[in-house]
Amino acid sequence: MCVSRCLRCVGVALVPMAIVCILCNILLLFPDLKIHFLLEKHVTKEATWATGLWASGLMVLLGARGFIQTSKTRGCCAFRGQMLCQVIYSGLAFLAAAICCYVSATGLVQGPKCLYNTSSGLTWGVPLKPIPGRFSGYLHNQTLWSGVCLEPRSVVQWNVVLFSVMGATSALEAVLCAVNILNSLLGLVLGQGFCNNKVNPGHT
């Protein structure tokens, strides 16, 4: 049955994506692989929101588990009941992935929190943050990637790579969850047999 196969495929595909988001967010919390930056609150705030852990990570994993289990459901009433649940679960997973994607994009554009030189000496802040009308940002000017932030070491490249991977992965998760919403709605309305271009009378 197409609905069940699609549910299982989406569920299986979401598992490694959720794990990637979890790993990316964990690494973002430990720039230069050192814990003291986190303990001293010198970590980019978008990383500390941990959307890769609880949103694109845990919530999507729970949704994927539900998709795989539902793909084994048999019987008209049980199947349609599960499809209704899947519409809700898919919607929540979509929202979670979209939140993570937005936060990742924000963290990427704003730039990392780091130690940098100012006229009054060394200070911690977000020196690469875009300023409307004055500074368009650092993403297209790679000379700033190594010339502004002093600590943590290579934090700009660290954030660019990890936020990019987490953002792209969570965006793909959101697309798959959106597909699953449509798939679940089809299963809810048409039942298990719609792939055969007919509806079994016993399923109406």
Segments of the chain assigned E as strands: 114-118, 121-125
What is the pLDDT, as a whole number, of residue 201?
Answer: 45
Taking alpha carbons only, the member of 31, 52, 55, 51 closest to residue 41 is: 31
Rounded Cα gap, residues 193 and 203, in angstroms: 8
Position 124, amino acid: W
Residue 194, pLDDT above cutoff 90: no
Q: How many residues can be counted in the chain?
A: 204
What is the pLDDT, as a whole number, of residue 170?
Answer: 98
Average of per-residue pLDDT values in the chain: 88
Rounded Cα gap, residues 191 and 58, in angstroms: 29
Is the alpha carbon torsion for 41, 45, 47, 49 positive or negative? positive
Q: Which residues of 188-202 are buried (b: 16+ CB within 10 A; e: fewer)?
A: bebbbbbeeeeeeee
Q: What percent of the chain has pLDDT over 90?
A: 66
Residue 95, pLDDT above cutoff 90: yes
Residue 137, pLDDT above cutoff 90: no
| pLDDT tens, residue by residue, 27-67 | 999 999 999 999 999 999 999 999 999 999 999 999 998 88
Q: What percent of the chain has pLDDT over 70?
A: 87
What is the pLDDT, as a whole number, of residue 204?
Answer: 40
What is the pLDDT, as a whole number, of residue 111?
Answer: 96
Q: Are strands 121-125 and 114-118 parallel, antiparallel or unpaired?
A: antiparallel
Residue 203, pLDDT above cutoff 80: no
The confidence band for 147, taking pLDDT boundaries of 50, 70 and 90, is confident
What is the pLDDT, as a whole number, of residue 197?
Answer: 47
Ranking 37-41, 108-112, 186-190 by mean pLDDT, the lowest is 186-190
What is the pLDDT, as a whole number, of residue 117?
Answer: 95
Residue 202, pLDDT above cutoff 90: no
